[in-house]
């Protein structure tokens, strides 16, 4: 089949990642309308999904998809915010929840009231877990110390991070003070709070079936966003909803696989309580575990592109997939043939998700070539990728 190319997301991931630089600079007591009573629980979970075309709200970023919980302003059934009309159509096997009594509270659901992402990004995943109340930052985040600044001394060899919001003495031999700059958290903008934060190890657990057994996050794989309420940010949209634990795994996830995520008991609220199941969501209707399904392994770009004209001395033919592929399965999967079906000799190299075919000699002028990548190629977890086929022509003599 012909390769189906789609644009990869970019803007949202950049905006969300930038929030980690400012996480410590947010006044967590400003502008919140949260419920501080009782133990914490998860209100919503969002994942990046590059196939989403949801335009149900002016605040919804199309690639940030609600995959657990509900929100009064998020609609993932086809919906017209200008007319308030909703045709109730959702892509199978999902159905539209039309029982909520409000056109601004409808979701494409599976098995009751469980919204789900079926194409969550696998290569650079971002998972945003929104808490119903503020959390104790000391149980889930670290802060960059002032000794990271130029000219500072006393930095420990293993890096300058502290689990204390007020005391970065790990950077020096004394508590933070005006006279002991190396004992202070990094605060370049002098707003009185740390500039850089990162998650502690073991805050969240992520699993993807048998392909990725339960995995605890490593230090720095995300950050805590301490401010927020149930209103979207004017700059980040749903990427600014909080308080949120944002998990950004440093590994790729297996494609076309159900994954689950949970917050561990080590994370506490201000009263020392660990997370409990959301009492407002029926366990059966919400599906129990927080689950999302990852995107399939597929090509997102080729060079030359399908139908392009290329020089006869083309250096390489490149196929870019959305995730890293297994080198052994890709090495013998690429064939290039001319219009008569004759094979072109060449060498295949693999670098992550990039498969390159280097012709052994110049191509013939004015000829059409067909490039095929067999569907035997798999991602790094052994999940099969879709087959790829495209054509290009060479310049006339």
CATH number at residue 358: 2.60.40.1220
Phi, psi of 11 (to 5 degrees): -60, -50
Q: What is the pLDDT of residues 22-71, one digit of tens each?
A: 333 333 333 345 788 879 999 888 898 877 655 444 555 557 777 887 77
Phi, psi of 147 (to 5 degrees): -70, 0
Residues 5 and 65 occupy one common structural domain = yes
For the stretch 269-303, what's the b/e string if a residue is b when 16 or more beta carbons lie within 10 angstroms of its beta carbon?
beeebebeebeebeeeebbeebbbbbbbbbbbbbb
The Cα 233–Cα 237 span in angstroms is 5
Q: Does residue 249 register a pLDDT over 90?
A: yes
Domain extent, residue 303, equals 299-394
Residues 84 and 209 occupy one common structural domain = yes
Q: How many residues does the chain have?
A: 397
Query: What pLDDT does residue 75 have?
Result: 53
Residues whose CB falls within 8 Å of the CB of residue 42, separated by 6 or more in sequence, listed in order:
68, 69, 129, 130, 131, 132, 263, 275, 278, 290
Residues 154 and 126 occupy one common structural domain = no
Q: Which long-range contacts (CB under 8 A, 24 or more apart) does 157-165 make?
A: 160/186, 161/198, 161/219, 163/138, 163/200, 164/138, 165/137, 165/138, 165/193, 165/194
Residues 218 and 304 occupy one common structural domain = no
Q: For residues 282-297, give the mean pLDDT.
A: 70
Instruction: Indicate whether 195 belongs to any domain.
Output: no
Q: Answer for the pair 339, 368: CB distance below 8 angstroms, yes or no.
A: yes
Instruction: Indicate whether 190 belongs to any domain.
Output: no
* Domain boundary pick from 183, 215, 249: 183
Work out the angle at residue 127's Cα, subtended by the Cα atoms of residues 230 and 57, and round it to the nearest 5 degrees: 45
Residues 50 and 174 occupy one common structural domain = no
Residues 130 and 242 occupy one common structural domain = yes
| pTM strictly above 0.85 | no
Residues 342 and 226 occupy one common structural domain = no
Instruction: Indicate whether 189 belongs to any domain.
Output: no
Higher pLDDT, 194 or 379: 379
Residues 221 and 331 occupy one common structural domain = no
Instruction: Indicate whether 192 belongs to any domain.
Output: no
Residues 163 and 254 occupy one common structural domain = no
Confidence of residue 298 (pLDDT cuts 50, 70, 90): very high
Find how far residue 39's CA is from the centre of its chain: 27
- Number of structural domains, the chain? 3
Residues 226 and 163 occupy one common structural domain = no
Instruction: Indicate whether 188 belongs to any domain.
Output: no
Residues 238 and 348 occupy one common structural domain = no
The Cα 131–Cα 128 span in angstroms is 10
DSSP 122: S
């Amino acid at each position: 089949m012909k390769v189906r190319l789609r644009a990869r997301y970019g803007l949202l991931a950049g905006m969300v990642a930038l929030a980690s630089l400012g996480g410590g600079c947010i006044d967590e007591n400003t502008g919140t309308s949260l419920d501080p009573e009782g133990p914490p629980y998860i209100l919503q979970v969002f994942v990046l999904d590059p196939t989403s075309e949801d335009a149900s709200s002016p605040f919804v970023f199309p690639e940030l998809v609600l995959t657990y919980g509900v929100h009064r302003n998020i609609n993932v059934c086809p919906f017209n915010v200008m007319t308030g009309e909703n045709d109730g159509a959702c892509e199978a096997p999902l159905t539209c929840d039309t029982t909520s009594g409000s056109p601004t509270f409808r979701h494409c659901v599976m098995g009751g009231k469980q919204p789900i992402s079926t194409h969550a990004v696998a290569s650079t995943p971002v998972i945003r877990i929104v808490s119903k109340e503020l959390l104790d930052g000391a149980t889930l985040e670290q802060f960059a110390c002032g000794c990271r600044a130029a000219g500072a001394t006393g930095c420990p060899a293993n890096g300058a991070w502290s689990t204390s919001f007020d005391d970065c003495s790990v950077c020096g031999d004394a508590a933070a003070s005006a006279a002991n700059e190396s004992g202070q958290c990094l605060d370049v903008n002098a707003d009185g709070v740390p500039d850089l934060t990162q998650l502690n190890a073991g805050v969240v657990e992520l699993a993807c079936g048998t392909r990725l057994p339960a995995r605890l996050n490593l230090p720095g794989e995300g950050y805590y966003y301490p401010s927020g309420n149930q209103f979207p940010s004017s700059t980040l949209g749903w990427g600014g909803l909080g308080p949120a634990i944002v998990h950004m795994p440093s590994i790729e996830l297996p494609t076309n696989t159900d994954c689950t995520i949970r917050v561990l008991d080590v994370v506490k609220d201000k009263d020392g309580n660990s997370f409990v199941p959301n009492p407002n969501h029926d366990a059966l209707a919400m599906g129990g575990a927080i689950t999302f399904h990852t995107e399939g392994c597929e090509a997102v770009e080729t060079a030359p592109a399908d139908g392009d004209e290329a020089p006869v001395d083309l250096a390489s033919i490149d196929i870019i997939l959305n995730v890293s592929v297994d080198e052994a399965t890709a090495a013998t999967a690429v064939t290039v043939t001319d219009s008569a079906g004759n094979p072109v000799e060449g060498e295949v190299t693999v670098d992550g998700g990039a498969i390159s075919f280097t012709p052994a000699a110049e191509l013939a002028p004015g000829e059409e070539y067909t490039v095929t990548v067999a569907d035997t190629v798999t991602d790094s977890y052994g999940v099969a990728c879709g087959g790829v086929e495209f054509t290009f022509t060479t310049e006339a003599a």
